[in-house]
């Protein structure tokens, strides 16, 4: 037998905080050694943090990484254990994303990444060069200070593997696993038995299965040990890295770490018999045949044994059932962990949420409540780091610390119901009941006086006072009156966030939380600079449908029973007067349902459909209930208002990334924000096809408003033409 004990880990790194990162790295090595592991794998770019972005262009970032590596090699950290560390390296004039593979205070090999992540949220080609020489390892001259300290002038650099006396080990870095021809395929044919994948992979709803299937497939038909390490937490941006460090052997998951956790360090241990790998490979005829004519991969010799012989004291890890979270659990735990990292690292004293009693803001409140529950749970489990952070943020004195999530919420969470004459008693009551269930410090703040003062000022200047549409006013008056309420709430939210701590003799400030969902952002159904314009937004890329499912789940599993009533209520902005014959509803305002919005969003982004392609696809999808003409009008209605409101994405509150059709303009969904909202060529092609299909043309809404284009006073700074109604209010307060 060749018994091998390995350790992989989830680390909560922070971009550019070398002290934090080094402490986590050292802690993970110490735990791996304590468990008797001989291989320790850390995440991609773990020394600097993955999310440094343009800081990678600074020489300081690379130099500090070498200084930290030197500290690890000078000490006894790598004695008797193979360690793979992630950091940027400059070779010649190129910068590479590398794994530095070390053992016994020496660098054995530097493995640069060959296939870079350069889509979605990732821009690695902006900072790094892909390594392209696959046929040889080259000499890399170590920096002078490193060379003198280690008495090692150079190290092999490039694509290859390490041949130990009793096994072969290789690195495969993150994105390389998901390429059409992944390196592990030919490495396995060259005899590599242990693959180390250092990754920086973010959470997205329903994504984990894709990742785990890739590990399983990598070893199912080829045999091998696949180790996976990942970041876990918010390292300074919109992404939450969702851990799930794993070890897979011959297609079976034998070790799996947590996906969502507040811990800074989690080490996953597995014990393997490598003879199982050799046995499987020897039993597959096609593997034998392909290995006999393989392309040879260069390697480095390391005169060490990693394995033990037969030893009854070393129990082998067995296949286990993979742990998957439901989407509702993902919505609860992912954003909750992200909020905790943001709170403890931002220097803030807590959160303030404009709570309307609607589904979206109530979802945010429930997520903050979940965060408080997780903090108290981990403190009870003995996590001293979380305890120290909670004591500091919650301003506990005399040895006290959080033991009850509601009491902790009272210290770190303000909710504010900013009602107007258009708000119902039902939403006001729901907001209060939910705040009490969570434990938040709740305020009821009427805004009618502020709105009236502004209208009086407007009347003094212009001589006119606007009226709502139900009272005989025009569309412009109606929209302007709604936007006043929405924007006043933003101003008041930030005022309370900065001054309430002072009122209660607390230091610091509170972060304002936004609560607009991904579907509203896609449609532009939010007022620019209303209370959707917050510091951060934990639900900004989660769909309305998923949020409603989450509310039903949270009512039971988080013990916030009032969420069931909130979920059952029809979505409404409550920005217009309620009359016996009229009540404002989101889906009526938008001219489309939230279910339809999810379909449009996925087709636009995930399946890359323009108007014509979307029309054709939806004719198949909706053809049983809609004529081609009706489908055409729905598609044109969506694209018109999507393009009219695209400018709002440039100021969208930074949001937790959870959905693959997010319209977030900062880095994920890069498109122009000044469109010809008539789409004349595309819509003309659709109309032509409808006539060929014999479909009747159906108009949606007020035809006089459909083609009326005006300069929006709060639009794209006079840079483009937008439509009346481009200030559509947010669904919540």
* Model pLDDT for residues 11-29, shown as the tens digit of each residue: 999 999 999 999 999 999 9
Q: Which spans in 284-403 are helix H?
A: 285-292, 327-346, 359-380, 384-394
* pLDDT score for 235: 94
Residue 139 located in a structural domain: yes
- CATH number for the domain that contains residue 378: 3.40.50.620
Question: Is 356 annotated as catalytic?
Answer: yes
**DSSP state at residue 381:** T
pLDDT-derived band at 695 (thresholds 50, 70, 90) equals: low
Asked if 301 is an active-site residue, the reply is no
User: Beta-strand (E) ranges in 30-185?
Assistant: 39-41, 82-91, 94-103, 106-112, 138-141, 154-157, 161-163, 168-171
pLDDT tens by residue, 448-493? 999 999 999 999 999 999 999 989 999 999 999 999 999 999 999 9
217, 184: one domain: yes
The residue from 5, 33, 113, 634 that is catalytic is: 113
> pLDDT tens-digit profile of 252-269?
999 999 999 999 999 999
Q: What CATH number should be reported for the domain holding residue 177?
A: 3.60.110.10
Q: What are phi and psi of 521, to 5 degrees?
A: -65, -45
> For the ranges 135-139, 228-232, 356-360, 670-674, which has the lowest average pLDDT?
670-674
Q: Residue 723 falls within a domain, yes or no?
A: no
Residue 702 in domain? no
Q: How far apart are CA 198 and CA 216, in angstroms?
A: 16
Whether residues 439 and 570 share a domain: the answer is yes
Quick check: 373 pLDDT over 90?
yes
88/190 same-domain check:
yes
- Mean pLDDT of all residues in 636-651: 93
**Do residue 343 and residue 247 come from a single domain?**
no
> Would you say residue 496 lies in a domain?
yes
- Distance CA(533)–CA(32), nearest Å, equals 44
Per-residue pLDDT at 728: 42
Q: What does the pLDDT read at residue 732?
A: 30
Q: Which of 98, 102, 174, 531 is catalytic?
A: 174
Q: Is 102 a catalytic residue?
A: no
- Same domain? For 26 and 150 the reply is yes
Is residue 33 domain-shared with residue 59, that is, in the same domain? yes
Contact call for residues 662 and 202 (beta carbons, < 8 A):
no
Range of the structural domain that residue 358 is part of? 328-590
* 699 falls within a domain: no
Segment 84-98, tens digit of pLDDT: 999 999 999 999 999
- Regarding whether 386 and 292 lie in a shared domain, the answer is no
What is each CA distance from 190 to 70, 177, 291, 298, in whole angstroms? 32, 17, 7, 9
- Using a 10 angstrom Cβ sphere, with 0-12 exposed, 13-18 middle and 19 or more buried, the burial of residue 672 is exposed
Tell whether the model's pLDDT for residue 640 goes beyond 50.
yes
Domain-ending residue, one of 590, 616, 632: 590
| 344 plus 286 within the same structural domain | no
Give pairs for 419-423: CB < 8 Å, separation 24+. Answer: 419/444, 419/445, 419/446, 419/447, 419/733, 420/446, 420/447, 420/448, 420/451, 420/485, 420/574, 420/575, 421/448, 421/577, 422/485, 422/574, 422/575, 422/576, 422/577, 422/578, 422/584, 423/574
pLDDT at res. 269: 98
Provide the pLDDT confidence category of residue 696 given band limits of 50, 70 and 90.
low
The catalytic residue among 229, 356, 541, 562 is 356
Whether 32 and 166 share a structural domain: yes
Q: What average pLDDT does the structure give for the chain?
A: 91
CA–CA separation, 125 vs 46, rounded Å? 18
Spatial separation of the C-alpha atoms in residues 240 and 202, rounded to whole Å? 5
Whether the pLDDT of residue 71 is over 80: the answer is yes
Residue 664: its pLDDT value, please?
86
Q: How many CB atoms lie within 10 A of CB 299?
A: 20
Look at residue 216 and tell me whether its pLDDT is greater than 90.
yes
Q: What is the mean pLDDT of residues 500-504?
A: 94
What is the mean predicted confidence (pLDDT) over 191-204? 97
Percent of the chain residues past pLDDT 70, beyond the cut: 94
Please state the rounded mean pLDDT for residues 511-515. 96
Q: How confident is the model at residue 724 (pLDDT cuts 50, 70, 90)?
A: very low
Q: Which one, of 310, 308, 311, 319, lies nearest residue 39 by Cα?
A: 308
Q: Between 720 and 523, whose confidence is greater?
A: 523
Report the C-alpha gap between 423 and 447 in whole angstroms.
11
Q: How many domains does the chain contain in total?
A: 2
Q: Assess whether 389 and 479 both reside in one domain.
A: yes
The answer, yes or no, to whether residue 518 has pLDDT greater than 80, is: yes
Element (H, E) at 254: strand 252-256
The predicted model gives 235-252 an average pLDDT of: 96
Residue 658 lies in a domain: no
416 with 287, same domain: the answer is no
Distance between CA atoms of residues 45 and 41, nearest Å: 12
Give the pLDDT band (50/70/90) at residue 580.
low
Is 174 assigned a catalytic role? yes
pLDDT band at 665 (very low <50, low <70, confident <90, very high): confident
Are 65 and 104 within one domain? Answer: yes
The residue from 260, 288, 313 where one domain ends is 313
Instruction: Please compute the mean of the pLDDT values over residues 40-46 and round it to a whole number.
Output: 98
Q: From the candidates 44, 176, 596, 633, give the one annotated as an active-site residue.
A: 44
Least confident of 128-132, 194-198, 309-313: 309-313
Q: Confirm whether 304 is domain-assigned.
A: yes
Domain boundary among 313, 338, 373: 313
């Amino acid at each position: 037998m060749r018994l091998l004990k390995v350790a992989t880990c989830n680390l909560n790194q922070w971009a550019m905080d070398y002290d934090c990162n080094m402490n986590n790295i050292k802690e993970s090595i110490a735990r791996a050694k304590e468990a008797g592991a001989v291989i320790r794998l850390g995440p991609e770019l773990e020394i600097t943090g993955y999310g440094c972005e343009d800081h990678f262009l600074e020489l300081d970032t690379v130099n500090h990484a070498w200084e930290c590596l030197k500290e690890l090699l000078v000490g006894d950290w790598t004695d008797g254990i193979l360690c793979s560390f992630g950091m940027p390296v400059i070779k010649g004039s190129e910068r590479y994303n590398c794994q530095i593979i070390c053992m016994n205070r020496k660098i054995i090999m530097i493995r640069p990444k060959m296939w870079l992540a350069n889509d979605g949220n990732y821009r690695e080609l902006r900072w790094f060069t892909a390594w392209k020489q696959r046929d040889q390892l080259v000499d890399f001259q170590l920096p002078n200070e490193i060379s003198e300290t280690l008495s090692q002038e150079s190290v092999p650099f490039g694509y290859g593997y390490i041949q130990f006396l009793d096994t072969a080990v290789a690195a495969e870095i993150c994105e390389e696993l998901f390429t059409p021809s992944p390196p592990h395929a030919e490495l396995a044919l060259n005899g590599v038995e242990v693959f180390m994948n250092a990754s920086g992979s973010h959470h997205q709803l329903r994504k984990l299965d894709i990742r785990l299937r890739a590990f399983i497939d990598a070893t199912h038909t080829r045999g091998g040990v696949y180790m996976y390490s990942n970041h876990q937490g918010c390292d300074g941006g919109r992404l939450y890295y969702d851990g799930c460090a794993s070890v897979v052997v011959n297609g079976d998951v034998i070790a799996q770490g947590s996906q969502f956790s507040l811990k800074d360090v989690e080490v996953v241990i597995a014990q393997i018999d490598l003879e199982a790998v050799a046995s499987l490979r020897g039993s597959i005829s096609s593997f034998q045949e392909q290995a006999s004519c393989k392309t040879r991969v260069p390697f480095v010799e390391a005169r060490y044994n990693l394995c033990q012989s037969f030893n009854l004291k070393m129990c082998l890890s067995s296949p286990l059932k993979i742990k998957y979270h439901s989407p509702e659990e993902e919505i609860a735990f992912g954003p909750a962990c992200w909020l905790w990292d943001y709170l403890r690292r931002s220097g803030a004293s807590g959160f303030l949420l404009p709570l309307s009693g609607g589904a979206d803001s109530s979802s945010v409140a429930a997520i903050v409540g979940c965060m408080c529950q997780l903090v108290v749970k981990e403190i009870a489990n003995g996590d001293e780091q979380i305890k120290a952070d909670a004591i500091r943020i919650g301003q506990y004195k005399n040895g006290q610390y959080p033991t009850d999530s509601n009491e902790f919420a009272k210290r770190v969470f303000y909710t504010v119901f900013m009602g107007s004459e258009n708000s119902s008693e039902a939403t006001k009551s729901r907001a209060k009941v939910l705040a009490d269930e969570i434990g938040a410090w709740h305020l009821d703040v009427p805004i009618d006086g502020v709105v009236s003062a502004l209208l009086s000022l407007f009347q003094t200047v212009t001589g006119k006072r606007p009226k709502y549409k139900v009272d005989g006013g025009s569309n412009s008056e109606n929209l302007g009156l709604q936007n006043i309420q929405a924007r006043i709430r933003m101003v008041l939210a930030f005022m309370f966030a900065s001054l309430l701590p002072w009122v209660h003799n607390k230091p610091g400030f509170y972060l304002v939380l936004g609560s607009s969902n991904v579907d509203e952002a896609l449609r532009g159904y939010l007022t620019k600079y209303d209370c959707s314009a917050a510091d951060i937004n934990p639900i900004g890329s989660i769909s309305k449908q998923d949020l409603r499912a989450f509310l039903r789940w949270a009512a039971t599993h988080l013990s916030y029973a009032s969420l069931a009533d909130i979920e059952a209520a029809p979505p409404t902005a409550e920005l217009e007067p309620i009359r016996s014959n009229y009540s404002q509803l989101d889906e009526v305002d938008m001219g489309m349902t939230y279910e339809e919005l999810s379909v449009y969003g996925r087709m636009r982004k995930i399946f890359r459909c323009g108007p014509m392609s979307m029309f054709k696809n939806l004719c198949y999808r909706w053809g049983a209930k809609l004529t081609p003409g009706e489908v055409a009008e729905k598609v044109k209605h969506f694209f018109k208002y999507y393009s009219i409101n695209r400018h709002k994405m440039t100021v969208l509150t930074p949001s937790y990334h959870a959905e693959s059709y997010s319209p977030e303009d900062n880095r994920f969904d890069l498109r122009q924000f000044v469109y010809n909202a008539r789409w004349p060529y595309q819509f003309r092609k659709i109309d032509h096809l409808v006539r060929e299909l014999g479909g009747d043309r159906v108009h949606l809404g007020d035809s006089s408003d459909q083609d009326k284009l005006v300069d929006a006073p709060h639009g794209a700074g006079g840079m483009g033409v937008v439509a009346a109604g481009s200030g559509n209010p947010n669904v919540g307060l």
